[in-house]
Amino acid sequence: MPIDKSLVGKTGKPFTVPIEWSKVREFARAIKDPNPVYFDPELAKKECGGIPVPPTFLQVAAFWQDADSVPTAHFDLRRILHGEQEFEFYKPILVGDVLTGTAKITDVYERAGGRGGKMTFMVTEIEYKNQKGEKVAVARSTLIETGQAVGG
Amino acid sequence: MASRVKYDSVKVGDSIPTVVIENVARPDFVRYAGASGDFVPLHYDQTFVEAAGIPTVFAQGMWTAGCLSRCLTDLAGAGNVRRFKVRFARQVWPGDTLTCRGKVTNKVERGGEKLIEGEVEVVNQKGEATVKGDFAVVAA
Protein backbone atom coordinates (compact mmCIF):
# COMPACT_ATOMS: atom_id res chain seq x y z
CA MET A 1 0.00 0.00 0.00
CA PRO A 2 1.46 3.42 -0.87
CA ILE A 3 1.69 5.67 2.14
CA ASP A 4 -1.33 7.94 2.54
CA LYS A 5 -0.70 10.80 4.98
CA SER A 6 -4.24 12.09 4.51
CA LEU A 7 -5.40 9.28 6.80
CA VAL A 8 -3.88 11.09 9.80
CA GLY A 9 -6.57 12.79 11.84
CA LYS A 10 -9.31 10.66 10.33
CA THR A 11 -11.84 10.02 13.10
CA GLY A 12 -14.43 7.26 13.27
CA LYS A 13 -18.07 7.49 14.17
CA PRO A 14 -18.36 7.08 18.00
CA PHE A 15 -19.40 3.56 18.97
CA THR A 16 -21.11 2.16 22.04
CA VAL A 17 -19.60 -0.63 24.13
CA PRO A 18 -21.83 -2.20 26.77
CA ILE A 19 -19.56 -4.02 29.24
CA GLU A 20 -21.26 -7.41 29.59
CA TRP A 21 -20.42 -10.15 32.06
CA SER A 22 -20.69 -13.02 29.55
CA LYS A 23 -18.16 -11.37 27.27
CA VAL A 24 -15.83 -10.61 30.18
CA ARG A 25 -15.96 -14.24 31.38
CA GLU A 26 -15.42 -15.56 27.88
CA PHE A 27 -12.43 -13.27 27.44
CA ALA A 28 -10.91 -14.21 30.82
CA ARG A 29 -11.18 -17.90 29.87
CA ALA A 30 -9.60 -17.24 26.48
CA ILE A 31 -6.54 -15.63 28.09
CA LYS A 32 -6.43 -18.47 30.66
CA ASP A 33 -6.99 -16.19 33.63
CA PRO A 34 -8.82 -18.02 36.45
CA ASN A 35 -9.05 -14.91 38.68
CA PRO A 36 -12.36 -15.36 40.56
CA VAL A 37 -13.25 -11.66 40.28
CA TYR A 38 -14.27 -12.34 36.67
CA PHE A 39 -16.45 -15.31 37.60
CA ASP A 40 -17.92 -14.60 41.07
CA PRO A 41 -20.08 -11.43 41.18
CA GLU A 42 -20.31 -11.40 45.00
CA LEU A 43 -16.56 -11.58 45.45
CA ALA A 44 -16.03 -9.04 42.66
CA LYS A 45 -18.41 -6.62 44.32
CA LYS A 46 -16.56 -6.94 47.61
CA GLU A 47 -13.07 -6.65 46.10
CA CYS A 48 -13.62 -4.29 43.17
CA GLY A 49 -17.06 -2.73 43.56
CA GLY A 50 -18.26 -4.81 40.62
CA ILE A 51 -16.92 -7.19 38.00
CA PRO A 52 -13.79 -5.61 36.48
CA VAL A 53 -12.41 -6.22 32.99
CA PRO A 54 -8.99 -7.72 32.15
CA PRO A 55 -6.42 -5.08 31.09
CA THR A 56 -6.57 -6.02 27.40
CA PHE A 57 -10.36 -6.48 27.25
CA LEU A 58 -10.99 -3.22 25.39
CA GLN A 59 -9.38 -4.83 22.37
CA VAL A 60 -12.68 -6.67 22.05
CA ALA A 61 -14.59 -3.43 21.73
CA ALA A 62 -12.48 -2.33 18.80
CA PHE A 63 -13.01 -5.53 16.84
CA TRP A 64 -16.80 -5.51 16.95
CA GLN A 65 -17.24 -2.13 15.28
CA ASP A 66 -18.44 -1.20 11.82
CA ALA A 67 -15.93 0.04 9.30
CA ASP A 68 -17.05 3.66 9.73
CA SER A 69 -16.24 3.54 13.45
CA VAL A 70 -12.67 2.33 13.14
CA PRO A 71 -10.96 4.15 10.31
CA THR A 72 -8.19 2.13 8.76
CA ALA A 73 -5.87 1.79 5.84
CA HIS A 74 -6.54 -1.07 3.45
CA PHE A 75 -3.77 -3.37 4.53
CA ASP A 76 -3.10 -6.75 2.92
CA LEU A 77 -4.26 -9.35 5.48
CA ARG A 78 -1.43 -11.71 4.54
CA ARG A 79 1.18 -9.12 5.46
CA ILE A 80 -0.33 -7.50 8.52
CA LEU A 81 1.42 -7.38 11.89
CA HIS A 82 0.30 -5.91 15.16
CA GLY A 83 3.41 -3.99 16.18
CA GLU A 84 2.45 -2.43 19.51
CA GLN A 85 -0.54 -2.01 21.75
CA GLU A 86 -0.90 0.27 24.73
CA PHE A 87 -3.70 0.82 27.23
CA GLU A 88 -3.95 3.65 29.74
CA PHE A 89 -6.64 3.56 32.41
CA TYR A 90 -8.01 6.58 34.27
CA LYS A 91 -11.16 5.26 36.00
CA PRO A 92 -12.49 1.78 36.83
CA ILE A 93 -14.38 -0.08 34.09
CA LEU A 94 -17.00 -2.47 35.49
CA VAL A 95 -19.64 -4.80 34.10
CA GLY A 96 -22.80 -2.74 33.57
CA ASP A 97 -20.91 0.31 32.31
CA VAL A 98 -21.68 1.58 28.85
CA LEU A 99 -18.63 3.05 27.17
CA THR A 100 -18.42 5.24 24.12
CA GLY A 101 -15.30 4.84 22.01
CA THR A 102 -13.96 7.27 19.46
CA ALA A 103 -11.16 6.12 17.19
CA LYS A 104 -8.67 8.37 15.45
CA ILE A 105 -5.70 7.67 13.21
CA THR A 106 -2.82 9.60 14.79
CA ASP A 107 0.09 8.64 12.53
CA VAL A 108 0.95 6.88 9.28
CA TYR A 109 4.57 6.40 8.25
CA GLU A 110 6.96 4.16 6.32
CA ARG A 111 10.17 2.58 7.46
CA ALA A 112 12.70 0.26 5.84
CA GLY A 113 12.22 -3.17 7.39
CA GLY A 114 14.49 -6.14 7.89
CA ARG A 115 13.39 -9.42 6.36
CA GLY A 116 9.95 -7.93 5.63
CA GLY A 117 11.22 -5.21 3.23
CA LYS A 118 9.50 -1.81 3.33
CA MET A 119 6.94 -1.47 6.11
CA THR A 120 3.96 0.86 6.52
CA PHE A 121 2.92 1.79 10.07
CA MET A 122 -0.46 3.08 11.19
CA VAL A 123 -1.13 4.32 14.74
CA THR A 124 -4.74 4.43 15.92
CA GLU A 125 -5.94 5.82 19.24
CA ILE A 126 -9.33 5.01 20.72
CA GLU A 127 -10.59 7.10 23.62
CA TYR A 128 -13.26 5.55 25.84
CA LYS A 129 -15.69 7.47 28.03
CA ASN A 130 -18.20 5.94 30.42
CA GLN A 131 -21.93 6.66 30.79
CA LYS A 132 -21.10 9.59 33.11
CA GLY A 133 -18.96 11.18 30.43
CA GLU A 134 -15.73 10.41 32.30
CA LYS A 135 -12.67 9.43 30.28
CA VAL A 136 -11.87 5.91 31.45
CA ALA A 137 -9.25 4.63 29.04
CA VAL A 138 -7.18 5.17 25.92
CA ALA A 139 -6.13 2.29 23.66
CA ARG A 140 -3.31 2.98 21.21
CA SER A 141 -2.38 0.44 18.55
CA THR A 142 0.29 0.26 15.88
CA LEU A 143 -0.43 -1.91 12.85
CA ILE A 144 2.29 -2.74 10.35
CA GLU A 145 1.98 -3.88 6.75
CA THR A 146 5.19 -5.72 5.88
CA GLY A 147 6.78 -6.11 2.46
CA GLN A 148 6.23 -9.88 2.42
CA ALA A 149 4.38 -12.63 4.32
CA VAL A 150 4.87 -12.37 8.05
CA GLY A 151 5.58 -15.90 9.19
CA GLY A 152 8.62 -16.84 7.07
CA MET B 1 -10.53 -1.28 44.70
CA ALA B 2 -7.64 -1.61 47.14
CA SER B 3 -4.41 -2.78 45.57
CA ARG B 4 -3.01 -6.13 46.64
CA VAL B 5 0.55 -4.88 46.57
CA LYS B 6 2.06 -2.65 49.26
CA TYR B 7 4.17 0.20 47.96
CA ASP B 8 6.63 0.07 50.83
CA SER B 9 7.22 -3.67 50.57
CA VAL B 10 8.29 -3.54 46.89
CA LYS B 11 11.85 -2.82 45.77
CA VAL B 12 13.19 -1.93 42.35
CA GLY B 13 14.46 -5.18 40.82
CA ASP B 14 11.80 -7.35 42.48
CA SER B 15 10.16 -9.99 40.32
CA ILE B 16 6.40 -9.91 39.81
CA PRO B 17 4.20 -13.03 39.65
CA THR B 18 5.08 -15.42 36.81
CA VAL B 19 2.54 -17.23 34.62
CA VAL B 20 3.46 -20.31 32.56
CA ILE B 21 1.34 -21.39 29.57
CA GLU B 22 2.27 -24.92 28.58
CA ASN B 23 1.88 -26.38 25.12
CA VAL B 24 0.10 -23.60 23.25
CA ALA B 25 -2.45 -25.11 20.87
CA ARG B 26 -4.61 -24.04 17.90
CA PRO B 27 -7.85 -24.13 19.95
CA ASP B 28 -6.34 -21.36 22.13
CA PHE B 29 -6.26 -19.08 19.05
CA VAL B 30 -9.77 -20.09 17.97
CA ARG B 31 -11.17 -19.44 21.43
CA TYR B 32 -9.46 -16.06 21.52
CA ALA B 33 -10.78 -15.21 18.04
CA GLY B 34 -14.31 -15.86 19.29
CA ALA B 35 -13.80 -14.05 22.58
CA SER B 36 -12.10 -10.99 21.09
CA GLY B 37 -13.59 -10.76 17.62
CA ASP B 38 -10.10 -10.88 16.08
CA PHE B 39 -10.84 -12.92 12.97
CA VAL B 40 -7.65 -12.17 11.09
CA PRO B 41 -7.29 -15.55 9.29
CA LEU B 42 -3.55 -15.86 10.03
CA HIS B 43 -4.52 -17.26 13.43
CA TYR B 44 -6.90 -20.11 12.52
CA ASP B 45 -7.05 -20.70 8.76
CA GLN B 46 -4.32 -23.17 7.75
CA THR B 47 -5.22 -22.97 4.04
CA PHE B 48 -4.92 -19.18 4.12
CA VAL B 49 -1.54 -19.15 5.88
CA GLU B 50 -0.03 -21.81 3.62
CA ALA B 51 -1.11 -19.82 0.56
CA ALA B 52 0.68 -16.83 2.12
CA GLY B 53 3.86 -18.88 2.57
CA ILE B 54 3.61 -19.25 6.35
CA PRO B 55 4.11 -22.75 7.79
CA THR B 56 1.25 -22.74 10.29
CA VAL B 57 -1.25 -20.53 12.05
CA PHE B 58 0.17 -18.57 14.97
CA ALA B 59 -1.19 -16.81 18.05
CA GLN B 60 -2.87 -13.42 18.00
CA GLY B 61 -0.36 -11.08 19.60
CA MET B 62 -3.13 -9.85 21.86
CA TRP B 63 -3.80 -13.38 23.08
CA THR B 64 -0.22 -13.58 24.27
CA ALA B 65 -0.47 -10.06 25.71
CA GLY B 66 -3.65 -11.11 27.51
CA CYS B 67 -1.85 -14.06 29.08
CA LEU B 68 0.92 -11.65 30.11
CA SER B 69 -1.53 -9.17 31.65
CA ARG B 70 -2.28 -11.73 34.33
CA CYS B 71 1.15 -11.02 35.87
CA LEU B 72 -0.07 -7.48 36.55
CA THR B 73 -3.51 -8.37 37.89
CA ASP B 74 -1.98 -11.13 40.03
CA LEU B 75 0.40 -8.49 41.40
CA ALA B 76 -1.99 -5.60 42.10
CA GLY B 77 -5.50 -6.96 41.58
CA ALA B 78 -7.80 -6.45 38.61
CA GLY B 79 -8.74 -2.81 38.20
CA ASN B 80 -5.41 -1.55 39.51
CA VAL B 81 -3.52 -1.45 36.23
CA ARG B 82 -2.91 2.10 35.03
CA ARG B 83 -0.81 1.42 31.94
CA PHE B 84 0.09 -1.67 29.96
CA LYS B 85 2.09 -1.45 26.76
CA VAL B 86 3.29 -4.36 24.65
CA ARG B 87 5.51 -4.71 21.60
CA PHE B 88 5.26 -7.85 19.52
CA ALA B 89 8.68 -9.26 18.77
CA ARG B 90 8.12 -12.78 17.45
CA GLN B 91 5.27 -15.14 16.63
CA VAL B 92 3.97 -17.72 19.10
CA TRP B 93 3.46 -21.09 17.39
CA PRO B 94 1.42 -24.16 18.31
CA GLY B 95 3.48 -26.33 20.65
CA ASP B 96 5.30 -23.42 22.30
CA THR B 97 5.53 -23.16 26.06
CA LEU B 98 5.44 -19.57 27.30
CA THR B 99 6.72 -17.96 30.45
CA CYS B 100 5.20 -14.59 31.29
CA ARG B 101 7.32 -12.64 33.77
CA GLY B 102 8.47 -9.20 34.79
CA LYS B 103 10.28 -7.01 37.24
CA VAL B 104 9.89 -3.70 38.99
CA THR B 105 11.95 -0.86 37.51
CA ASN B 106 10.59 2.22 39.29
CA LYS B 107 8.39 3.45 42.13
CA VAL B 108 6.75 6.84 41.82
CA GLU B 109 3.93 8.88 43.38
CA ARG B 110 1.88 10.62 40.72
CA GLY B 111 -1.56 12.19 40.69
CA GLY B 112 -2.17 11.18 44.29
CA GLU B 113 -1.42 7.52 43.55
CA LYS B 114 1.50 5.31 44.50
CA LEU B 115 2.59 3.59 41.31
CA ILE B 116 4.83 0.63 40.68
CA GLU B 117 6.34 0.59 37.19
CA GLY B 118 8.16 -2.22 35.49
CA GLU B 119 9.02 -4.32 32.48
CA VAL B 120 7.38 -7.55 31.38
CA GLU B 121 8.07 -10.14 28.73
CA VAL B 122 6.84 -13.44 27.37
CA VAL B 123 9.59 -15.88 26.46
CA ASN B 124 9.19 -19.18 24.62
CA GLN B 125 10.84 -22.52 25.41
CA LYS B 126 13.99 -21.42 23.53
CA GLY B 127 14.28 -18.34 25.72
CA GLU B 128 13.30 -16.03 22.85
CA ALA B 129 11.15 -13.00 23.71
CA THR B 130 7.83 -13.05 21.85
CA VAL B 131 6.26 -10.05 23.57
CA LYS B 132 7.95 -7.28 25.54
CA GLY B 133 6.23 -4.58 27.45
CA ASP B 134 6.05 -2.19 30.33
CA PHE B 135 3.44 -1.30 32.90
CA ALA B 136 2.28 0.84 35.80
CA VAL B 137 0.04 -0.49 38.57
CA VAL B 138 -1.36 1.18 41.66
CA ALA B 139 0.02 0.08 45.03
CA ALA B 140 -1.55 0.45 48.47
Among B82, B139, B130, which Cα is nearest to A91's?
B82
- Selected residues 95-134 of chain B with any CB under 8 Å from a CB in chain A: none
pLDDT by residue (tens digit) across A7-38?
899 999 999 999 999 999 999 999 999 999 99
**How many of the other CB atoms lie within 10 Å of CB of A32?**
15
pLDDT by residue (tens digit) across A68-119?
887 777 777 778 788 999 999 999 999 999 999 999 999 999 988 766 578 8
pLDDT by residue (tens digit) across B15-66?
999 999 999 999 999 999 999 998 889 999 999 999 989 999 999 999 999 9
Query: Which of A27, A77, A148 has the CB atom closest to B40's CB atom?
Result: A77
Residue B77 placed within a domain: yes
Cβ–Cβ gap B84/A56 under 8 Å? yes
Task: Give the per-residue pLDDT at A13.
Answer: 93
Rounded CA gap, B132 and B140, in Å? 26
Q: Does position A1 have pLDDT exceeding 60, yes or no?
A: no
Q: Taking a C-beta distance cutoff of 8 angstroms, is the pair A25, A38 a contact?
A: yes
Q: Taking a C-beta distance cutoff of 8 angstroms, is the pair B134, B118 a contact?
A: yes
Q: Is B115 helix (H, G, I), strand (E, B) or coil?
A: strand
pLDDT by residue (tens digit) across A34-53?
999 999 999 999 999 999 99
How many domains is chain B built from? Answer: 1
Residue B79 placed within a domain: yes
ipTM of model over 0.90: yes
Residue B2 placed within a domain: no
Domains of chain A are: 5-19+52-145 (3.10.129.10)
